[in-house]
Chains A and B, each alone.
Chain A
Amino acid sequence: AVQLVESGGGLVQPGKSLKLSCSASGFTFSSYGMHWIRQAPGKGLDWVAYISSSSGTVYADAVKERFTISRDNAKNTLYLQLNSLKSEDTAIYYCARSDWFAYWGQGTLVTVSS
């Protein structure tokens, strides 16, 4: 069965960095694009970034120049490097498979606060 497991969240101060991981199993990871989507506390879903199977990337304007999506197909793992974090980046971060959000992980909480 398809499984996506996020990790790496935590409490971080404004301006600092964090790297999230999404470990994939149950499918041929290298064949699929992947998304990161976030959800601020009590709010709706907010698309963050996408990486294609060939590692082309697209970002939301709110995170462009600060976040970097990447992948390691040998490790079946998706990453999101978060730099220059702001309080408004506080959210649960989900990874999702590219076939129109068919599969989601359980999410990892990032809290940006001093």
Chain B
Amino acid sequence: DVVMTQTPPSLSVAIGQSVSISCKSSQSLVYSDGKTYLHWLLQSSGRSPKRLIYQVSNLDSGVPDRFSGTGSQKDFTLKISRVEAKDLGVYYCAQTTHFPNTFGAGTKLELK
């Protein structure tokens, strides 16, 4: 199975600060079609997960451009610029290149 290693496990931030979350996979996430199926989701407290970014760097509709995703092969990063209160929650990376699909353990973004 592909292991997704997410760091840090938690982040304490001030409003307006920028943060980055790392996600590293144990295998390349490049599929046979040449695309990379690495995605980022946010789970706010008591809510279902919501996808923010798909295929490394594509923002979902309605997601502000303060969010950005970069990376390739096995090394990926989510960056949030100018954190707002509504950004708080647990961020997960997820891969759908390989079965079983797998998730990172999550990064909890909290207010400092």
Contact = CB atoms under 8 A, between A and B. Distances in A.
Instruction: State whether these chains interact.
Output: yes
Interface of A: 35, 44-47, 50, 58, 60-61, 94, 100-102, 104-107
Nearest to A58: B99
Given A101-B96, A102-B54, A107-B48, 18 more contacts: A44-B90, A44-B106, A45-B43, A45-B49, A45-B94, A45-B103, A45-B106, A46-B103, A47-B102, A50-B101, A58-B100, A60-B100, A61-B100, A100-B51, A101-B41, A101-B51, A102-B51, A104-B50
Contacts of B37: 100
Contacts of B106: 44-45
A105 to B, nearest CB: 7
B16 to A, nearest CB: 28
Interface centre among A45, A104, A105 (most CB of B within 10 A): A45
Contact of B92 (A35, A45, A100): A45
B105 interface: yes
A93 to B, nearest CB: 11
Given A44-B92, A45-B92, A107-B48, A102 B60 contact: yes
Contact of B105 (A44, A94, A104, A106): A44
A101 B94 contact: yes
Interface residues of B, number: 23
B99 A50 contact: yes
Contacts of B60: 102
B81 interface: no
Contacts of A50: 99, 101
Interface centre among A35, A47, A50, A61 (most CB of B within 10 A): A47
Interface string B40-62: 01010000111100110000100
